[in-house]
């Protein structure tokens, strides 16, 4: 199966978990292929670098680009 995840889903997975996190976990265990585009990656980088998310990121194991 091939999936394109919206930026909001990826951000939610990183910061809050829940169903979006389970989606990324399933990708990591190779249950499906995750597809993206340059535009989506650029949008994700922009969103993740926002100061609004700095506090949430500091409480996770992830780092912003």
Please write the tens of the pLDDT for every residue from 5-41.
899 999 898 888 899 999 988 988 888 888 989 999 9
For residue 63, being part of any structural domain is answered with no
For residue 65, being part of any structural domain is answered with no
Q: Which residue has the higher pLDDT, 47 or 65?
A: 47
pTM score of the predicted model? 0.72
For residue 19, being part of any structural domain is answered with yes
Domain span holding position 32: 2-58
For residue 22, being part of any structural domain is answered with yes
The CA-atom distances, in angstroms, between 13 and each of 2, 26 are: 18, 12
For residue 20, being part of any structural domain is answered with yes
Q: How many domains does the chain have?
A: 1
For residue 42, being part of any structural domain is answered with yes
Among candidates 1, 38, 27, which has minimal Cα distance to 9? 27
Q: Residue 65: its pLDDT value, please? A: 56
- pLDDT(64) > 60: no
Q: Which residue has the higher pLDDT, 28 or 61?
A: 28
Q: Which residue has the higher pLDDT, 38 or 57?
A: 38
């Amino acid at each position: 199966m091939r999936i394109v995840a919206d930026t909001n889903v990826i951000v939610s997975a990183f910061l809050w978990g829940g169903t979006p996190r389970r989606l990324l976990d399933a990708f990591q265990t190779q249950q499906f292929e995750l597809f993206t585009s340059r535009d989506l990656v650029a949008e994700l980088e922009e969103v993740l670098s926002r100061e609004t998310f700095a506090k949430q990121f500091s409480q996770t194991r992830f780092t912003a680009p």
